[in-house]
Structure formats: structure tokens, C-alpha cells
Amino acid sequence: MIFTECPFRHRKIFSPLYGWHKRKHLQLKPDGQMTDHITMRDEARFTGPLDDVPQVYAHPVCGVQTRMPEEIIRSYLANPFLYSDGSFCCGCGTYISSTELFWVETGQCMADYNRELKEEYLRVHGKPPKKTRV
């Protein structure tokens, strides 16, 4: 392949330069968060209302709440296998295991919520989606 699609910005990148390009997305900002996150293409994201979808999670260790960006919520609702088992904590300034995070709206552990989304995806589709190249 001469070009690789960037899963962060969804543009074609000349394959020999992709490693350098990817490192730019993964650089940490001063607050400890990655510069960019993988997302689904706009047309592949979940498009329904987010009224009943939890969006703010708490980390009891530091006591801080973090709001998840809408494009990430819509991406993991479309593909719950897209992200790793952690999320950024604004209080700690680092990525924390989802077993330590709890949705403010429901009190549910994020790890349990993510497991349920994955199980539902498998019930509907039979297998996980093709893995996104990072």
C-alpha cells in the first residue's frame, strides 16, 4: 500500500511517513492527555441521541470528574472494541484503567459498561469489527 488511512484524522498518509505522522498524534499535551484520539469516520459514528448515554465519569481515588468528548462517545457506541481498557483522568493527568472509573449519571463501573457494549455488539454482529490499524 502506498497510502495508509490515519485513524485520527481520516486522511491518506504516504505509508513510509506514517510512523512519524502517528507519533505526532500520540504526543502528550502538557496536561498528560494524548494530542489526538482514534475516532470513527463521521459516517460510521453512532448518530442517535445521547440523552441516556453516560458522558461524565469519576475517579474516586482523586475525586475528579471527567467529561468524555462527544466524538469519542459516538465512536465507541458504533465500535466498542475501538479503544483500550482505560480513559484519561483530568485529576490524575494520566490514563486510568476503566475498572477504577464510574459513570456519574448511573454509578456503573466503566469496565462493566464497556463489557456490556461489547457483548451487545457481538450479539448483533457475531464477531468484533476489523481491527483499526494504529
Task: Give how far the C-alpha of residue 125 lies from the chain's centroid of Cα atoms, to the nearest Å.
Answer: 20
Whether 45 and 75 have beta carbons less than 8 Å apart is answered as yes
Rounded to whole angstroms, the Cα distance separating 78 from 48 reads: 10
The C-alpha cell at 78 is 458504533
Model confidence over 67-123: pLDDT tens digits? 998 888 998 999 999 888 889 999 999 999 999 999 999 999 999 999 999 999 999
Nearest to 94 by CA among 19, 11, 32: 32
Model confidence over 48-72: pLDDT tens digits? 999 999 999 999 999 999 999 888 8
The C-alpha cell at 47 is 448518530
